[in-house]
Amino acid sequence: MLLLAIDTSTTAITAALCDGDSVLAEATTLDARAHAEHLAPGIRTVLADVGARPADVTDVAVGTGPGPFTGLRVGIATARTFAFALGVPVHGVCSLDALAHAAWLAEPERAGELLVATDARRKEVYAAVYRLSASGAERVDGPCVSRAADLPEPVRSLPAVGRGPLLYPGALPHGAPPLDVSAGTLADLAVRRLRAGERLPGVDPLYLRRPDAAPTGSTGPSRKSTLG
């Protein structure tokens, strides 16, 4: 296996290669706006770092968000095109799952609930709640898009990762790293799920709401909710 992992759902434009046992290379650029400019060079960098060609890739995994429309679309479109060109499978992974997995990898003995809250712009966060145990991080609620202060108080009081606590410390006072998705961590999570026999979802993006640019006269509710 040589799995290429990509995520563009957060400020990190990130790509990594995993051989099924370990992450071989990772390239990350922090830029909230220029996803299209940085992703392809990042993919070329990780391939060059391990002396691999695109044709050596056997699988592609991509973060499906939730995330801002334009950045998320860049990563998913790139993953689909890369996989189609090579005739290899492409797997979707919720990007918030990858952040929770990173927190678990840092402290695998940790137990309890964890909030993942990333920047949704418009003064909102994308959020989900996870239960951490010896077996990993299991999503138990979400994802949703909401103002941080509108999340239920028991949720806001949880330990949290992602940029949400950095942006809204008054509402989310217990923030800690990581801030952004790592493609290496996403690759590790995808491989674990595949080896466990899980059928990974497709790569439809989790936008949770309409894009900023919409046709004139477009109506209808956004997919906005809060955690219960």
Q: Do you know the residue count of the chain?
A: 228
Residue with tokens 């949720």, as numbered in its chain: 155
Cis check for the bond before 143: say yes or no (omega within 30 of 0).
Answer: yes
Closest residue by Cα to residue 127 from 99, 102, 112, 146:
146
Taking CA 71 as the corner, what is the angle to CA 117 and CA 73, rounded to the nearest 5 degrees?
110
CB atoms closer than 10 angstroms to residue 48: 12
Two tokens at 51? 């002396």
Please give the pLDDT value at position 218. Answer: 36
Query: What is the pLDDT tens value at each position of the chain, 228 positions in all?
Result: 999 999 999 999 999 999 999 999 999 999 988 899 999 999 999 999 999 999 999 999 999 999 999 999 999 999 999 999 999 999 999 999 999 999 999 999 999 999 999 999 999 999 999 999 999 999 999 999 999 999 999 999 999 999 999 999 999 999 999 999 999 999 999 999 999 999 898 899 999 976 554 444 433 334 455 787
Two tokens at 150? 């509108």
Q: Which domains does the chain have, with CATH numbers?
A: 3-94+181-195 (3.30.420.40), 96-176 (3.30.420.40)
Q: What are phi and psi of 160, to 5 degrees?
A: -140, 150
pTM of the model: 0.92
Q: How far is CA 146 from CA 18, 82, 185, 207, in A?
A: 34, 33, 26, 13
Closest residue by Cα to residue 187 from 57, 87, 86:
57
Please give the pLDDT value at position 227. Answer: 85
